[in-house]
Amino acid sequence: MSVRLTAQDAVLARLRDDILTGVLGPGDQLVQEALAERYGVSRVPLREALKTLESEGQLVYYPHRGYFVVELSVDDLREVYQLRALLEDAALRAAVPALDDQDVQHISTLSEEIDQAAADGDVIAMTDANRRFHFAMYDAAGMPRLSRLLRQLWEATDAYRAIYYQGEANRHRVTDEHSAMVLALRARDIDRLVALHDEHRTHSVAVVEAQLNPRDHIPHRTYPRENP
């Protein structure tokens, strides 16, 4: 059983990376046989991974048609980020008093990892380090249910985050914003930290909104895509 879980985790990670980097884009239909061959797994762990992504809102399943990568929309973007704002505010206000100097140093180190990934243009590494950076704060709130809800919302925004991180200027902005967050953490300035997170989200939403409408006209694809 442990082997099967490991295979499922591995294919889930591969699927996330392909969605994040646009290999599997919004509206794409997923052919399970082709994906199983691509990832070198059987259909069983692949199906479980697809169900996981469906539950997170990254895929949608249509009877007799199969799985598709969800379409991106401004309304969905705004809703998810509004929910994130409410929950992240609560998490940060509970977390900051619980963080000691060693915790803050660890968060600062994670910020440096983001800086390096941004400089390398490595969207996958940047996304991973960014998630660990923020959840090092959120999880310190000591509210597991809140952390689980936040993780679900973050998983649902990977495709939007991928759009944002494609821009070099956006990647540099992220590193600057994170540096300011670390300074606020060191000062234990909760209001400043919350405000910085709000600015962080607001700019991301504005940039992605501006890019979504042209993307709505991208034709649906089937994976694997036929050669022209």
Task: Decide yes or no: CATH 1.20.200.10 for domain 2-71.
Answer: no
Cα separation values, 133 from 79, 94, 174, Å = 23, 16, 12
Residues of the chain with pLDDT > 90, as a percent, come to 66
Task: Decide yes or no: CATH 1.10.230.10 for domain 74-214.
Answer: no
The domain limits of the chain are 2-71, 74-214
Would you list the DSSP string of 76-141?
A: HHHHHHHHHHHHHHHHHHHHGGG--HHHHHHHHHHHHHHHHHHHHT-HHHHHHHHHHHHHHHHGGG
Q: What does the pLDDT look like over 77-121, one tens digit per residue?
A: 999 999 999 999 999 999 999 999 999 999 999 999 999 999 998
Residue ranges of E strands in the chain: 29-30, 59-62, 66-69, 222-223
Residue with the larger pLDDT of the pair 22 and 149: 149
The DSSP bridge pattern shows strands 29-30 and 59-62 to be unpaired
Predicted confidence (pLDDT) at residue 32 exceeds the cutoff of 50: yes
- Predicted local distance difference test score (pLDDT) of residue 187: 97
pTM of the model: 0.80
